Structure 1
Amino acid sequence: MYTLFYYPRNASLAPHFVLKALDVPFQLELVDRKKVAQKSAQYLRLNPTGRIPTLVDDDFVLCESAAICLYLCEKHSEKNLIPDAPQAKAEFYQWLMYLTSTLQNELMVYFYPERHTQNAIMYDDIIKTQQSRISDALAILDQKLGNNSYLVNDQFTVCDCYMFMLCIWADEIAKPPLSFTNLNRYLKNLAKHPAIASVCEYEETDLTIYK
């Protein structure tokens, strides 16, 4: 059985969505960030990066949210959370990389400005700049979506799990995802997906704004 080390609304959210969508047996192990448990000696022996999530599959240990998602989907390829056709699969990887290397990175700078300057006076300027950069990334994703129900190949994939996680994180910025026409429709549709709805209920993530 899989064990996912998680914390609500953390980067473990996407793998949690994936596990639920795959409908495979798994258990959750809370890593209490309020107590900085991710930096404890016990957790660091499991995941030396001191970050969440971590997946344990028997004696195999894997970290990094996107890598966990891909591993799970490749083990359960019959569930079709990764497209099969070469071009569709290439597009899938393209947008997953965009989400992880662009949107997620911009959000991390926004949430943790203190990690990017030694001058506290600069915090507000970094946050303001990041609001604009995040909005630019969301605009690209909004354009990509168009009238489609899903991000890639008109099927529910890991990209949609990852996108929903990041858009939840971004819901507090000045121009949040729901302010974009296509993203608004897309996210409200995704919020009804059984896996997403179930996981958000478990993690006590309120989906009222997506109704």
Structure 2
Amino acid sequence: MIRLYYYPDNASFAPHILLRETGLAHELMLVDREARAQKSAEYLRLNPAGRIPTLVEGDTVVFETPAVCIHIAEADPAGRFLPAPGDPLRPRFFQWMAYLNNTLQAEFMIWAYPQDHTTDPQGVAAIQAAQEARLTDILALLDRALGAGPYLLGERLTACDPFLFMLATWCAGLPRPPMAFPNLARFLRLMAQRPAVRDASAIEGIDLSAYL
């Protein structure tokens, strides 16, 4: 049995969707961020980074969202969500997982929490403005990549797509949000129709009405 330590509308949302896509037996373990439970001694024994999500399966403990998603995809008996070794799509899969984590999510977090990236309170607005320009370029690149769609790897849904869906919903508050890009908008609407996305969103209290 897989246990996913999660918090609603957090970085655990993508693995939660993927667990429902695979149909793997799992249990959701709520980590109360409001009470900073992710920094508790008990949780830190599982995840010394003190962040969400963490996946536990037997003696295996995995943290960091892309690693958790890859682990789930590898556990899928049908091998649907991760191209197999030798598949020409496999390098592109890892390319996009890395790009989503290291570029889109990293740049978004600076925009969302600019005060954590300066010691000068007067510089917060400038940091956000710079990040808005960066994020617009990143979203434009992803929009072009989805042009052959409907998913990041073309016709095949992979673990990259729940990750992109999660991050794109986070970006809804940008001056030029993902819904302003035609291919990203199509992707978001398509993903929002999937039963796994709807079920995970209902459990986590995430409103999908903007994409339906």
* C-alpha distance after superposition, 1:22-52 (max 9, x if no partner): 1011011111111111111111111110000
* C-alpha distance after superposition, 1:186-209 (max 9, x if no partner): 110111011111101111100000
1:45 and 1:96 map into 2 onto residues whose CA distance is 27
Instruction: Give me the TM-score of the superposition, normalised by structure 2.
Output: 0.96
4+ residue runs over 6 A deviation = none
Partner residue in 2 for 1:128 = 129
1:83 and 1:43 map into 2 onto residues whose CA distance is 32
**1:83 and 1:153 in contact (8 A); partners too:** no
Partner residue in 1 for 2:208 = 207
Deviation at 1:115, TM superposition (A): 2.0
Instruction: Give me the TM-score of the superposition, normalised by structure 1.
Output: 0.96
1:170 aligns with 2:171: yes
What is the Cα-based RMSD across aligned positions, in Å? Answer: 1.1
1:60 aligns with 2:79: no
Deviation at 1:77, TM superposition (A): 4.8
2:90 and 2:171 map into 1 onto residues whose CA distance is 27
1:29 aligns with 2:29: yes
SS of the equivalent of 1:55 reads strand
* C-alpha distance after superposition, 1:55-89 (max 9, x if no partner): 11012211111101111111225141012353211
Partner residue in 2 for 1:119 = 120
2:32 and 2:79 map into 1 onto residues whose CA distance is 31
Partner residue in 2 for 1:197 = 198
Unaligned 5+ runs, structure 2: none
Return the letter of the residue paired with 1:16. Answer: H
Deviation at 1:153, TM superposition (A): 3.6
* C-alpha distance after superposition, 1:124-178 (max 9, x if no partner): 1111111111111000000111152111041111111100000011011110000
1:46 and 1:39 map into 2 onto residues whose CA distance is 11
2:24 and 2:105 map into 1 onto residues whose CA distance is 27
Q: What fraction of aligned residue pairs are identical, expressed as a percent? A: 42
2:154 and 2:186 map into 1 onto residues whose CA distance is 17
Partner residue in 1 for 2:142 = 141
* C-alpha distance after superposition, 1:71-118 (max 9, x if no partner): 111122514101235321111111111111100100111111122111
1:208 and 1:66 map into 2 onto residues whose CA distance is 26
**1:147 and 1:182 in contact (8 A); partners too:** no
Partner residue in 1 for 2:73 = 73
SS of the equivalent of 2:78 reads helix
**2:178 and 2:185 in contact (8 A); partners too:** yes
Unaligned 5+ runs, structure 1: none
SS of the equivalent of 2:9 reads coil
**2:110 and 2:131 in contact (8 A); partners too:** yes
**1:88 and 1:153 in contact (8 A); partners too:** no
1:48 and 1:57 map into 2 onto residues whose CA distance is 17
Partner residue in 1 for 2:181 = 180
**2:146 and 2:154 in contact (8 A); partners too:** no
Deviates more, 1:36-45 or 1:70-79: 70-79
How many residue pairs get aligned? The number is 211
1:59 and 1:148 map into 2 onto residues whose CA distance is 38
Partner residue in 1 for 2:6 = 6
Partner residue in 2 for 1:15 = 15
